[in-house]
């Protein structure tokens, strides 16, 4: 699987990359992990080597008995009817107070930061980033997102020190 070496690099880089100049990244004040579980569609993201040529990207989270959760990231190679590519990992909460800061691992012992930095009150969309602002994902419970919602998210991302012009929309089957 092509993702494994690249995910290992991501895990190690995420730990080395510091905050960008300016304010530290802010996570949301509280996350109900049970409500966060389930399937999410990637609406847009910063380009990442491990997701090269992906379309139809999804992430699915399943809570485990030990409090961690299983993560399955999948996409279609090249086009929406291309072969499925998947990466399987685990995540754990590292901020017990807010439950908005997590560590995700696809290749042990490497972990990457996974911070929920914007979240719909009804858990219909979420935005995930990391303190170095190198990675960014806009996720939705549905394969499409209304443009005003998307524009509101990108405006808030600018206030968090992200550059919305670097976002690439993810092709999804509606």
- pLDDT bracket for residue 10 (50, 70, 90): very low
Cut 0.75: pTM above it: yes
Task: List pLDDT tens digits, range 104-156.
Answer: 999 888 999 999 999 999 999 999 999 999 999 999 999 999 999 999 999 99
Mean pLDDT rounded to a whole number for the chain: 87
Average pLDDT, integer, range 20-31: 84
> DSSP string covering 72-95, please?
EEEEEESSTTSPEEEEEEEEEES-
Say whether pLDDT at 17 is over 50. no
Buried-state track 42-71, b at ≥16 Cβ within 10 A, e below 16: bbbbbebebbeebbbbbbbbeeeeeeebeb
């Amino acid at each position: 699987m092509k993702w494994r070496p690249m995910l290992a690099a991501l895990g190690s880089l995420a730990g080395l990359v510091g905050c960008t100049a300016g304010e530290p990244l802010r996570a949301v004040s509280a996350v109900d992990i049970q409500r966060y579980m389930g399937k999410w569609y990637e609406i847009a993201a910063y380009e990442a080597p491990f997701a090269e040529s992906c379309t139809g990207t999804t992430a699915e989270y399943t809570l485990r008995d030990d409090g961690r959760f299983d993560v399955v990231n999948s996409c279609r190679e090249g086009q929406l009817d291309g072969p499925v590519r998947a990466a399987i990992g685990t995540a754990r909460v590292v901020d017990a107070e807010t439950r908005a800061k997590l560590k995700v691992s696809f290749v042990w012992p490497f972990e990457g930061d996974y911070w929920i930095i914007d979240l719909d009150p009804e858990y219909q969309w979420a935005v995930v980033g990391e303190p170095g602002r190198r990675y960014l994902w806009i996720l939705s419970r549905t394969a499409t997102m209304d443009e005003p919602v998307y524009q509101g998210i990108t405006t808030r991302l600018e206030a968090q020190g992200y550059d919305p012009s670097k976002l690439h929309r993810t092709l999804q089957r509606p």
